[in-house]
Structure 1
């Protein structure tokens, strides 16, 4: 603890220094110009599609309560730290998008989760594959999320990772929010002097490397129009921690199926609207360089000058873009273009351009996670390969569909354009095309039909509305009907979920 307070205070002071910001923004502009030139020259083109995945979770103790993860666990397991001290993240390195690469993705994700499980077991903790923790730690949610101290005017949240980047971001957003971060959702209002409530939410993020950057806009714009229908099959976060609620059973029907989205947006957006906040549904792009322009134009939050101290895990190309990479990391959109990863499937030196598909909640099992990953990458590849007219769907309709899926989950009003060019909101038609074009993309990648069916089955069987958020609502409703209070019912549901999650039985067979 000796030097930590001064280090954190100094980091926040540097991030607010106008001269530091001026240098940072200049470096971002210079690095962005190099990226644009590399996109135009084909330097970011690759020979193959490639896929990857990020998966976030949290830890609980022997009583199923949220628990802090000691640093030693991260030394034992190949997983990363996140904003909250209860969070962990595992990543599967990119593989070529073919049959062997998809199989390797599944193996890597399973191995990473197993390694995290073994490491956490050494300190009597268990990882949970879930989208929002709801059984609070022993001291309660308010104390856990709200405990902060001031160090020479810098706010430091007790249960946030005390990394300069996180603390600087926290103070920047807190200042922009007028000194408090407030979340208002059905049945609860939370307000804290920290963005830590963002750590309530965990997600999975499939990645798709696009080999030809000239075609990147077609994939990006198609991705935006798939968000609502895919999220409606994936929703898994209907409740805040149980002790945030009074005994009001009307919350069960009123609460959104995907609270993760408003939690993240309201934690970060500093009172801005969904159209103007840092976290939002992005606009279409016309050219690949648009994603670079957007990072440059985005407001600078908590800048850090690398001065040779960049990300040690960055590719050779990314390591030359530390300030741009830092700013891209806080350019929060529900779909992002990511520049600079080590290219996969090519023997050429260079980099890559990929889509990061960000709105999906962490799923109950590894098989469910892989199924969603395969659905997303197959769907995007299939839609573009078939020249499907989905991008004729107006952007406003795609955005509205996404936020309706946030609220209504499996009952969302879907928006789609069929292969024949007709607008439709018929769920059966939408899902028929969704899975048909995912199969098209997976076949183009060389996967056999029976293998494709096996991958897609855990998610495809959710078409009838059997999604994790609906299961959670139903279990809470049943507990209340048996005489439990709403907080008791949420805890009972969550303990059952934790008992089932992470196993070999896919969600639809629970």
Structure 2
């Protein structure tokens, strides 16, 4: 969930100073964009995968500190809940066999980590929401030890001024009230990072927004929460509500939520950082000693710590990223809509579909976002979240149509062309996009398999709790096989 911060009590002066430094950083970013100071000649891609920890009974294992101590690998980090960890995969180019390299790296890391995690009484599961979670697992006591998380918890609740109410109406209805943001820890995601040039950023971000609903529909893997079957990707509404800083009156006034799809197409990455500064109050007003103007004028590269920290507390589904590496600044689109899992190869297929599709769409002479309203993209997102592979979406030149038909007929070929522009090997394109295509042809993704498996176990006489535990046991076994989810049978 971002950079670490020290435990602190914040004053009004802290907030004032931080706001001024965010605005100063915004001015510096504008200058850097004008002066073309960014590294983008050999663009890299990155990957983060959030994992759940379970014990031998497939209950949440609140042991991430012990697990990380056993793993002793800096690529594994804490996440919000004590039953979460995250793996950060070293960035690399997509050219040649980049996706195979990612896949081998993730599988090797997980294979090395699991025996060590077992020494701490836990094992890892890649899944959008851990189906055996119950409300008693997501209290404040389950927060990870990193001070950032308890600070965020306190700041969000203080800003909101009242308890958080979570209501999700799906196949079944969930209604819970909580005094902590910890239910957000149930949301485990895959984040894909694409490095892009300043000139190309707006096109990539707009393309990512245009396909977000289609990504969710094809990759949905979170149908259950707290024992209830809800929507295909319940992680999305859960995240939106569990970190909402707005009381009811502010919602009625139209105040923007911190977990935000957005409201318009953009012309520059600057639009997004400016919106962050203009619309969203500071949650973590931690300021550095850096004077970014002085650093820039001396020929250096500013860290823009305040701008980056504030950006990390505005949870866009496609987030702009400014960062530095080896003394050079760069820009990334961080795609955050995908759940974790079901397998490593499914994760690579999702990433390839995204990377290929945005590359192809961003390069079109008449881009898709000039032919559809932003509201249509938001409606597609809502449809994908709710209905998964059964969603109907709008696409220019096609109109309203089943998402599976759109993906197979139009978007898989388009994504293949985009991957060729990334110089991805043809065998990788065929293998990974074939997985996406087969999900659409079989009607099987993580969400449908989980739902069908639980239904089959309940039909055989299991209670809902027994069925969820039985499903997760089978899911974990199949996850380790690394056979794509469309091949999984319901037992």
TM-score, length basis structure 1? 0.85
Kept in 1, the 8 Å contact 2:391–2:402? The answer is: no
Q: 2:437 aligns with which of 436, 460, 475?
A: 460
Aligned to 1:120: 117
Separation in 2 of the partners of 1:100 and 1:477? 39
RMSD of the TM alignment (CA)?
2.3
Deviation of 1:363 after TM superposition, in Å, equals: 1.2
SS in structure 2 at match of 1:131 = coil
Equivalent residues of 2:49, 2:189 under 8 A apart: yes
2:384 aligned with 1:412: no
Structure-2 residue corresponding to 1:34: 28
Q: Which residue of 1 aligns with 2:295?
A: none
- Closer, same or farther: CA 73–319 of 1 in aligned 2, 3 Å: farther
1:24 to 18, 26, 38: 18
Q: CA deviation at 1:490?
A: 2.5
Contact 1:393 1:423 in 2 (8 A): no
Alignment deviations for residues 316-339 of structure 1 (CA, whole Å, 9 cap, x no partner)? 988722211111111111111111
Deviations 1:459-500 (A, max 9, x none): 221013211111111112222222333333223222221222
Aligned to 1:104: 101
| Cα contact 1:51–1:207 (8 A) shared by 2 | yes
1:259 corresponds in structure 2 to 234
Whether 1:437 aligns to 2:414 is yes
> What's the counterpart of residue 506 of structure 1?
484
CA contact (8 A) 2:54 2:124 kept: yes
Q: Which of 57, 60, 63 pairs up with 2:54?
A: 60
C-alpha contact (below 8 Å) 1:39/1:288 kept by paired residues: no
In 1, Cα distance between the equivalents of 2:99 and 2:88?
14
Assess if the C-alpha contact under 8 Å between 1:181 and 1:194 holds in 2. yes
Q: CA deviation at 1:438?
A: 0.9
Residue 12 (structure 1) shift: 4.6
| CA distance in structure 2 between the aligned counterparts of 1:127 and 1:429, rounded to whole angstroms | 34
1:363 aligned partner: 341
The answer as to whether partners of 2:132 and 2:465 remain within 8 angstroms in 1 is no
Q: 1:501 to 1:102 in 2, by over 3 A?
A: closer
**Equivalent of 1:276 in 256, 264, 267:** 256
Distance 2:480 2:453 in 1: 19
- Per the alignment, in what secondary structure is the counterpart of residue 285 of structure 1? coil
The change in CA–CA distance for 1:30 and 1:202 in structure 2 (over 3 A counts) is same
Distance 1:403 1:317, change over 3 A: farther
| Residue pair 1:317, 1:340 contacting (<8 A) in 2 also | no
Q: What residue is the counterpart of 1:350 in the other structure?
A: 328
CA–CA separation in structure 2 for the residues paired with 1:289 and 1:331: 15
Counterpart CA distance in 2 for 1:487 and 1:284 is: 44
Residues in 1 aligned to 2:308 and 2:373: alpha-carbon distance in whole angstroms: 31
Q: Deviations over 1:217-255 (max 9, x none)?
A: 11111111101111111000011133xx5xxxxxx4xx2
Inter-CA distance 317–342: structure 2 relative to 1 (3 Å threshold): farther
Counterpart of 1:330 (choices 310, 313, 324) is 313
Per the TM alignment, residue 351 of structure 1 is displaced from its structure 2 partner at its CA by: 1.3
Q: 1:176 to 1:288 in 2, by over 3 A?
A: closer
Secondary structure in 1 matching 2:361:
helix
Provide the C-alpha distance between the structure 2 equivalents of 1:103 and 1:489, rounded to a whole number of angstroms.
Answer: 35
1:305 lines up with 2:250 in the alignment: no
Match of 2:225? 240
Decide which of 159, 174, 188 is 2:142's aligned counterpart.
159
* Aligned-pair CA distance for 1:302: 2.6
Q: Report the secondary structure of 1:289's partner residue.
A: helix
Change (3 A) 1:294 1:116: farther
Name the structure 2 match of 1:494. 472
Cα shift at 1:33: 1.5
Matched, 1:82 2:79: yes
The alignment status of 1:172 with 2:166, answered yes or no, reads no
Contact kept, 8 Å, 1:174 with 1:194, in 2: the verdict is yes
Secondary structure of the residue that 1:291 maps to in structure 2? helix
Aligned residue number for residue 376 of structure 1: 354
User: What is the rounded CA distance, in whole Å, between the counterparts of 2:318 and 2:487 in structure 1?
Assistant: 31
C-alpha contact (below 8 Å) 1:56/1:204 kept by paired residues: yes
Judging changes above 3 Å, is the alpha-carbon distance between structure 1 residues 490 and 101 closer, same or farther for their aligned structure 2 residues? closer
Q: CA deviation at 1:277?
A: 0.5
